[in-house]
Structure 1
């Protein structure tokens, strides 16, 4: 018989500070549970294999798109929601398939691998900047000075966002991300997200117009040319929405991968020393960082038909909360799941989702994490925390807002 649980604890400060005991308790009830009446969700899926099934079955388990809303969001008045609902992240087939095809061409393994010299160059520039700032012994905010600008600069080069506007983008990206949090759609957050969306949309519209008259070797040029040659591939609103959301998703999650990764390593001197001694282990370390402290703790799906997951019947029309972070610590799938162990043999995770909505930039994020962390540790042998890191309280885009370090 399927267990029934309450998700109310997910909204408490105690669980937001450390959700993993709550996830462990869910695992004791099986891989899928019914949610107590009164919650937005009908079922919670947290087992690794059960979660993978949900993510891969995009015909049955739909992402929230505008067809599930009482009315489509207004581009003029509900800009933040309209941006999300016109993007590849919040659409289902066949619309999603059409958009995804466009972006798959930009995130090919060949193009990502070709970015490694640029990633190394941008990383080296940032490390020089850190060294100059710390020359007098000053502490450094790792998030603001390295973890944010590295992926923002890499993706900015890929898309064609000028360097001088990338810092301007960060607070607006955070405002957009706030409404994706569980319980994050407060009136204040929505108002801030709408303002940010309007400003970012106007900026990308200017960039797209500039690329039409002055084409360059970047994604904005490629997408504007595709729109000009075949309007059936991408509408103007879809173009702008996808530029915004792809840029947001492409650097915010990697920012937290770097911040969470450094915090985990500085708290574990043996692992720090091992990675320094053998940088070839970086891929394994990054995978374990992503498993152990994934920046994206959950995803949401809607059932388009009656179905079954791990022996639990889920009727059509159910909202399902998929807890990716819990799936990454499923004791049925991982030995000692609450132990940070880059040498573990079971390395498959759900950190980048799965199926049709598998993260477009997964390979790029991995490469940035590997090169960024190894080059940082090689440059600064005595890097240490300058003060205790704050405890994140968000589940979506979970990580540090500030992380103060001494470079030694």
Structure 2
């Protein structure tokens, strides 16, 4: 179905500088100005530099940034599939005046010019077709292409445009959620214990830092993995763990060995994240807490494994590289968000990106050793079979 080879690279339509100020129409400009003027009218000019107003403004910017106009070059076969899908799913209607596709059942104020889907013949790009759409829509379309390439025929889920469900998807067994649930339960019990015995300030006692190790509190090397800085931190990590835990466990073989592999990968990834944190802060006294380092190791291995048990994806594959870049951008956004919250608030809030990076690198590089030997063998055989072809091309 792919037709002629295309790289499915998503590019900005107007350039990154304009994307930083994601206003592409007079309607958006008016709504953004009205929101700022409303805040000024309800409070005063100083309201713009408080925690309560900075966070909504930042989230509003993020939502508009996610929908920034983007382009992607397609073959004629791919473009025909996009148009056929738009017609079949009925999430979009084609305008008879300009030929663009608009979301159905939207009010007039939601029909911003940059939120439509458009296909243009691009003679300058090898007689292909340029797809123009909001960034989040474009990401979904690209994912649909990749899923069809990986799984063959797929079924639409019927609830979201372009969202696909592979027809061979089977429900996960309850046993697949055991190790993730165990880590989550340990994290919840740790928070309850600390709050009950030491109060909110006692959380730092289980945090890892160079100063804590210098004082001989080596137990923090392990305890920090199940300790969290607050309820929102705990909920965020447990939500990610619940989303990926079952899928990864099911790809690690039958239980109980799959449980052991999952837990060992989590622990060693967390230790790798802790090691990088300590290396970059050899004299630091600010404690680090959270299961994020271990979770990022799990995410990294999940990116390299396949749902159908096929060979592991190479680190150099487009999917892995793009996912790594997406995680990097998400961490950058979280870093800015937490920095602004700390600046406008009273408490210092930081992001242990070092632990995220260390855990992710460990899971990406060493994670395959936690996969059953048979799956690794299939991956090595597949890599050996394509190597001669690659060498002749290069």
**Scaled by the length of structure 1, what TM-score is found?**
0.26
Which has more radius of gyration? 2
Higher RCO, 1 vs 2 (CA within 8 Å, ≥6 residues apart): 1
Query: If the length of structure 2 is used for normalisation, what is the TM-score?
Result: 0.26
Q: Which one has the bigger helix percentage? A: 2
